Every structure is written in C-alpha cells, then in structure tokens.
Structure 1
Amino acid sequence: MECLIREATSDDCEHLMSLIQEIAAFHHLLDDVTINSQVLKADGFGKDPFYKCIVAELPVENGRKQACPIGYALYFFGYSVNHGRMVYLENLYVVSECRGKGIGKQLLSKVAEIALAAGCVEMKFVTMEWNHPAKEFYNCLGAHDATESEQLHCMELGHATLQRLVQSRKEL
C-alpha cells in the first residue's frame, strides 16, 4: 500500500492520542492511558524531547483534502552497557483496515534507518504475550524473544513505587 512516512510534528498530537487510545483499547489497557495530547506535545516537541515519532499517512487523493494518518511508530534512544547505543520502540501501530499491507514494516524499517544513522546497534521492544500476530510479524523480520533466549524479564517500577523508593533513600 502506498503511504508517506514522515516525522511527526506537534500538530499531530491530537491524532496520535486517538491512535494511542485505539491501540490501548485493542490491548484492553485503555484505563492505563493517563496522558493526553498536551502531554504528548510537551514531552515530544519541547526543549528536551523524551521521544521521537514517525507517522504513516495515506496521500491526498480521491477527494480527500488532507493526508490521512494510518499508523505511527514512537521510539526513543537509550544505551545498553553490553552493546552501546540502542533504540527502544515504545509503540508501533497501524489502524486495523490497513494491517497486512506492509505499513508496519515500512514504519519499522524507517525506525531502523534512523537508529543506524544514529549509531545504534540494536532495537528493543516488548509485545503482549497473547498478541500472536504481532509476535509472528516481528519473528518474520528476524526478531528474537529475549525472554526465552536470554531469560530476561521486562520489569517496571510505577510512579507510586518510584516515590516510595526516593522516600526510603531520604530515611537512611
């Protein structure tokens, strides 16, 4: 499917937010989304951006007055003490009616191109255990499951836990 892949701008934040809510609903995690388009704008397009994002959109045609966003990839750069520079893919999403048409691969390929240009040597991401189509998609591209092969688990410390951790240090 023909689409344009471009860097997201702050003007995309409203639409990105609707896509984020759509993928959260798909994963049954809509109640977990606590950000809004203003947070996206501040965090991605402020003085020190926390993330980068690219957007896939259908070109203007057939009476459409503007391009139609159909997917996105949100990522950020990090560092691995084992391998050096890395990119972390936080989210890759294509609207359901455009899946299976190569859009996800185009988005992922663009993130890979950006990562290599920045000197990254690996890309990391997670996918839901039950999301077999996503796991199959990534496996077909050459990804491997570090949970199984390296016996790694993705751990999280939530906001309340972060606060308790800081407070416990102050009490020492």
Structure 2
Amino acid sequence: MNNRITENVVTDNVVTDNIIIRAGTESDCDLILDFINKLAEYEKLASEVVATQSQLKKTLFGSKAYAEVIIAELAGNPVGFALYFYNYSTFLAKPGLYLEDLYVLPEARGKKVGKALLIRLAKIALENDCGRFEWSVLDWNQPAIDFYRSIGAIGMEEWTVQRVDGDALSELANKKL
C-alpha cells in the first residue's frame, strides 16, 4: 500500500498539492499514538485512551495485524492519519472497509488532507472488492458531519451503535445459558 494520493490523481509515486498519503509503518507507532491522543482530546474522550506504542506495534504491525493505518503528509510533515479494518456484509457477501479513526491536525484542516485520506480509503475499498465503506461520527460533531455529507456519505439514521466493553464484556463472556 505504498500508493500516494492527491485530491485528483491516485497513482504510485505521484505527488501534487504537497499532499502525500502513505502506509503507516512500525516506526510510526509514536506518531500514530500521538494522533490517537489528539483525536481523543478533540472528542472529549482523552481519559479513555489506554493504548501504548507497544500495543500498537503488536496489533497493527505484528504477526496478526488487526487494522491498517495510512498517514497524510503535507509539505513533507505528517498532519493526519486514518486507521481502518475490514468487516463483512452478509447481505452483500462481500467485505467492507470500516474507518475507525480519522484525524487531521487543526493547522492542516481546510487544505484537502481529510478529503485525500477518504479518497485513498475509497480506492483501497474498491481495490479489495469491498461493498461498503463505513464509519461512525459523534452526533455533536457538525463540522465533520457536514464534511461527510459534502463527499456523498449518508447517515444511517435508523441504526445505533451497540457496545459491550470492560467489565460488561467479561461478565457477558462468563454468563451461563
């Protein structure tokens, strides 16, 4: 996944508008963790981050990688990232690409970096015959919602996210029928 992207052109080794999208590497774990922490601060969830560099190294670049990362660079400086993984649609009988996190530094917003990341992810989805490209957004994040609508995303209003984690996950796993 060493393709580079610009807003209008996606080919190997092409750079215009000073935006480069590249695959994250093991040596980026510190940078990835920094982006995760900044995203958590923005989302008012900083207290929930327990990720470490060693955990990222193991789960993103170890023998069993659970997700992948792309890094956005503007004028040679890392300014954003997207972390994604594959899921599966039984209705389509195809894989889907799920965007877990996307973050662009405040000073790089409005410079098409987020759009470049989403375009690259859409290309990755098509390259892997995915039937869907999905993500969640906090309901109070109107700037993000407006941006997503501007690129053609549709809110799944009738769906709600469900989660079991922490003690509740352990309790569920240990329940008897």
| TM-score between the two structures when normalised by the length of structure 1 | 0.90
Aligned to 1:3: 19
**Alignment partner of 2:138: what SS?**
coil
**Alignment partner of 1:168: what SS?**
coil
4+ runs deviating over 4 angstroms: none
Sequence identity percentage: 35
Structure 1 CA distance, aligned partners of 2:117 and 2:149?
16
Deviations 1:13-61 (A, max 9, x none): 10111111011001110001111111111100001100001001134xx
Structure 2 unaligned residues grouped into runs of 5+: 1-16
Structure 2 CA distance, aligned partners of 1:54 and 1:92?
10
Q: CA deviation at 1:164?
A: 0.7
Structure 2 CA distance, aligned partners of 1:167 and 1:5?
43
Aligned to 1:40: 56
Aligned to 2:65: 49
Structure 1 CA distance, aligned partners of 2:41 and 2:172?
31
Whichever structure has more helix as a proportion of its residues is 1
Structure 1 unaligned residues grouped into runs of 5+: 60-66
Residue 43 of structure 2 is aligned to residue 27 of structure 1: yes
Structure 2 CA distance, aligned partners of 1:53 and 1:68?
16
Aligned to 2:88: 79
Aligned to 1:117: 127
Deviations 1:96-145 (A, max 9, x none): 00001100010011111111111101111100111001000100111111
For 1:104, which of 110, 114, 131 is the aligned residue? 114
Amino acid at match of 1:166: A
Amino acid at match of 2:87: G
Q: CA deviation at 1:4?
A: 1.1
| TM-score between the two structures when normalised by the length of structure 2 | 0.87
Alignment of 1:79-158 (within 5 A): 79-83=88-92, 84-146=94-156, 148=157, 151-158=158-165
Amino acid at match of 1:4: I
Aligned to 2:79: 70
For 2:74, which of 52, 58, 61 is the aligned residue? 58
